[in-house]
Structure 1
Amino acid sequence: MRRHRRAKIVATVGPASNSPAMLKALFLAGVDTFRLNFSHGTHEDHAKVHAAIRALEQETGRPIGILQDLQGPKIRVGTIKDGKIEVEAGETIRFVLAGAEGDRSAIPLPHPEIFAAVAPGHDLLIDDGRVRVRVTGLGSDFIEARVIVGGVISNRKGVNLPGTMLNLSPLTVKDRADLAFGLELGVDWVALSFVQKPSDMIEARGLIGERAGLVAKIEKPQALAHIEDIILLSDAVMVARGDLGVEIPHEDVPGRQKELVRACRLAVKPVIVATQMLDSMVAAPTPTRAEASDVATAIYDGADAVMLSAESAAGRYPVEAVEMMDRIIRSTEQHKLYHSIVAVSQPDVEHTPPHAVAAAAADLAVAIQCPAIVAYTSSGTTAARIARKRPAVPILAITPSEKVSRRLCLLWGAHSVLADNVHTYEEMVEQAAARARVEEFAKPMDLIVVVAGIPFAQAGTTNNLRVVQVGA
């Protein structure tokens, strides 16, 4: 079950992929972590999928990550008379806080936090930016706006406010109930939607603790203004290009993606690039050339993982989409320019013993042409520090923690295996060599690089490096 690539694949589960048979087919095609989207489906639906994934894990003997994606606060217009209205550029319309069926003079917008935060000159984007209006005046319960880009406003369409910082918790009542349910199930990651500021992460961490890894979804321009602190407070980051691309100019998204991937690599945090990567495969068996190039770009950027959304959740070709993503990643990573391109964006080594040891291990393994680096890791940090270097050598991550082995399914280059704790240096060396053979990373007489922290089983103590010859 070894993957012959470094970047990981995250696939969203939905009606097209929620059966045990399809989940197995997707895993065999290349999925490393499954995403449960709590914007859709019932708790019962998600519990069945979770149980099927854990059964598949037992059947295959390989750890599988599960990511719970919370819906977050969705801002929508209310109900409109006759279901929709068409507005034209230049005309003035009015939004009201309360109201039944609205018209262009009283479009319901039942979100008091908007009325408290918006100011003249701010834009409101409706239906993923298809309609854009600019605030010209407001009161405590109304907003007057001039239409900049006309179009149709229909019932319950989403509203984005790119220039407005809303005093809004990222965790709604629904999210809190979903989170409690997900943690009870035992999800490995929780993705927080519409993060705006560092305190959003602190609020979520207070509820999650260490029971799951916390993923910050970057889809608001306000988050970009506080990105260093948000990354610091997260365990991983998702570049959610869908909503982000609505709220910032389209032409800025590629550059922001590169900045975010680099910042996460510098901070030793896994980063997922998501949204519309192979979108045409929702309805077609092959992607466009531009989509293939988009996936490859994320790999050249050094992303830890790339994600499928509707392609695997509701598309007609979920298995083919995973297979295509796997092929694109492998082809990209095998290209003669891949390592030189990734090396250009390599962050400087931090001046601490753990980072220096991990970086030295990566360089040493490449220099002596080892088939693998074996990382003993109790928290995943040792493996992450090595992965930060993006070595041209796979990382065999040995951990005694089932939870950590599943989280490593999101980390670039890491093939995680469960093993009992080691207690002596000799035991560590023997187990490293044996595991490298069993997992088919090394043959007898091969040299491998082994990295660990001593004393054993203490998180964050990467301080030991050794070259070991695999026995006959």
Structure 2
Amino acid sequence: MDKQLHRNRKVKIVATLGPASDTKSEIKKMFLAGADIFRLNMSHGDHLAVENRHTILRNLEKEFSRPICILADLQGPKLRCGDFEGTKSTLEDGQKFCFDLIERQGDKERVCLPHPQIFQSVKKGDKLLIDDGKLSLEVIKASEEKIECTVLNGGIISDKKGVNCPDSILELASLTEKDKKDLEFVCKLGVDWIGLSFVQRTKDVHEVKKLLSGRAGIIAKIEKPSAVKVFDSIIEASDGIMVARGDLGVELPIEAVPPIQKRLVMKSRQMGKPVIVATQMMESMIHSTTPTRAEVSDVAQAIYDGVDAVMLSAETAIGAHPEKVIRAVDKIAIETEKDPLYFQNLETSRTSSKEGVSNAITVAAREVADNINVKVICCFTHGGTTAELASRERPRAPIIALTPYVETARKLTLFWGLHCVVTTPVDRFKRAVMNAVKAAKLFDFASGKDLIIVIAGVPFNTPGSTNILRVVSLEENFDDF
């Protein structure tokens, strides 16, 4: 158990790696600035680039003796139109425009849409959105070979622009062939979480879980209206959730996104599943050295809602100031969590389940910690369940998650409030208490006569067996390790 840095906040920061953050020196700066989880975006970069970034992260992990969580985000299906004569065309409001399966260049009246699944799914009255919603069309007639539309909002349409079908559930496989290859590649490398893009229904999650076979946790990205409608079943099937506001804001009225975000965050918290809010959190800092006031408020509001993590995408992947943007989010998080309203909001929105011994122990740990000024809650966990339940409670006291498995420690790093430590295996509760005291002192969570809480399960090495809670004074004689 080596000393490691710890953050002065509960919420975690996810940083996306890319061309602007591709070197060991830059990634190290980002880590020291406050990045807890690093995202490998499989939409960009080849396998060699991904492997190089993975190697840098695992070497940093060894250098700082701190588990680093890695999220591999799969690209998912990309729906795009074909090419145009002269590379583009202009569509006018009210005109008729057609999509078909004919592989020839498009013009002002038609273009190829090489996705038969769309033709099989759309119906009269459905909307089609082009280029992230810049153009919108309404279907007036659809067959398996041709979709006739009226242009609602016109503009320039050009080669290979993205197509969104917000009103349709498309019969697409949950993973493309590229996704399947990427999934196997990153699992062999060793990542902790997989981001599943464009989830439409629960079976999409189940299909990917079968392929994963427990090698990583699965985060369902909620970016389709159909996913919002069946969110309760999707979160049941998933290990975590990402509120991907970019595509969600394209396929839904933009004013509908904030209340949906709040509902998804609340449900995720109730279920004890980690939830990430993503997209355009600090967009202006792609170029600017400081965020806008609106961006600061956006990040702070997500933190007030109790999210596990906020995610930076282009800001750190291609932005001019990756380290600065992470430091900015870190400062916002620390200041927000100092506000008395922060924990008041968390407490009024808490809906803890006390069913079962493990649930009852973690609820009690939070209540005891809040009432007698405990400095830290130390929980021993093997598969991660105890620490996940402790995180769900959102206690005021910090939480140290102690585990003998580095894989568990890495995965738990995503969860709110958890400081994860890889420790030696224990077979007696006394040894667990001794390790907890050592960790609390070593990582500067407690000192002197401070009290800590230790929770664990006996017999040890039995997942889900949490059944002991003890309040411990650091003055107790546990110095002999």
TM-score, normalised on structure 1?
A: 0.99
| Alpha-carbon distance, 1:388 to partner | 1.1
Q: Per-residue deviation at 1:351?
A: 2.2
Residue pair 2:120, 2:143 contacting (<8 A) in 1 also: no
Deviation at 1:170, TM superposition (A): 2.1
Matched, 1:99 2:103: yes
Find 1:211's aligned residue among 183, 196, 215: 215
* Equivalent of 1:239 in 230, 236, 243: 243
Q: Is the 8 A contact 1:261 1:303 kept in 2?
A: yes
Contact 2:85-2:106 at 8 Å conserved across structures: yes
1:438 and 2:442 are equivalent in the alignment = yes
CA distance in 2, matches of 1:93, 1:52: 50
The separation in 1 between residues aligned to 2:35 and 2:387, in whole angstroms, is 20
Name which of structure 1's ranges 442-451 and 26-35 shifts more when overlaid on structure 2: 442-451
1:35 deviates by 0.1
> Conserved in 2, the CA contact under 8 Å of 1:76 and 1:158?
yes
Matched residue pairs, number? 472
Residue matched to 1:403: 407
What does the per-residue CA deviation read over 1:127-186, in whole Å, with 9 as the maximum and x for residues that have no partner? 110000000012221110000111111111111111000011120000001111000100
How big is the shift at 1:464? 1.2
Of 120, 126, 130, the match for 1:122: 126
CA distance in 1, matches of 2:402, 2:104: 59
Provide the secondary structure at the position in 1 that maps to 2:39: strand
Does residue 341 in structure 1 map to residue 339 in structure 2? no
1:294 is aligned to: 298
- For the Cα contact (< 8 Å) 1:433–1:471, is it kept in 2? no
Question: Over aligned residues, Cα RMSD in angstroms?
Answer: 0.9
Q: Deviations over 1:219-246 (max 9, x none)?
A: 0111112111111111111110000111
Within a 5 Å distance, the mapping from 1:101-250 to structure 2 comes to: 101-250=105-254
1:392 and 2:392 are equivalent in the alignment: no
Unaligned segments of structure 2, at least 5 residues? 477-481
User: Following the alignment from structure 1 to structure 2, what is the Cα–Cα distance between the partners of residues 170 and 124?
Assistant: 21
SS of alignment partner, residue 16 of structure 1 = helix
Structure 1 counterpart SS, 2:20: coil
Distance 2:119 2:420 in 1: 49
Q: Could you tell me whether the CA contact under 8 Å between 1:387 and 1:411 is conserved in 2?
A: yes
Counterpart AA for 1:124: L
Is 2:356 the partner of 1:363? Answer: no
Contact 1:198 1:230 in 2 (8 A): yes
Q: Distance in 1 between matches of 2:344 and 2:223?
A: 30
Give distance in 2, aligned partners of 1:3 and 1:447: 20
> Which amino acid in structure 1 is aligned with residue 119 of structure 2?
F
| Counterpart Cα distance in 2 of 1:265 and 1:456 | 28
Equivalent in the alignment of 1:450: 454
Q: 1:78 aligns with which of 78, 82, 91?
A: 82
Percent identical residues: 47
Are 1:6 and 1:412, in contact at CA under 8 Å, matched by a contact in 2? yes
Matched AA of 2:401: A
Contact 2:187 2:216 in 1 (8 A): yes
Runs (5+) with no aligned partner, structure 1:
none
Q: Is the 8 A contact 1:70 1:190 kept in 2?
A: yes
Matches within 5 A, 1:269-348: 269-348=273-352
Instruction: Tell me how far apart the structure 2 counterparts of residues 205 and 414 of structure 1 sit (CA, whole Å).
Output: 25
CA distance in structure 1 between the partners assigned to 2:273 and 2:100 by the alignment: 43
Structure 1 residue 80, shift from structure 2 partner: 1.0
Of residues 267, 271, 291, the one that matches 1:267 is: 271
Distance (Å, rounded) in 1 between the aligned partners of 2:475 and 2:27: 38
8 Å CA contact 2:222–2:244 kept in 1: the answer is yes
Match of 1:89 in 2: 93
- Specify the alignment match of 1:463 in structure 2: 467
- Secondary structure (helix, strand or coil) at the match of 1:260 reads helix
**Match of 1:352, as an amino acid?**
G
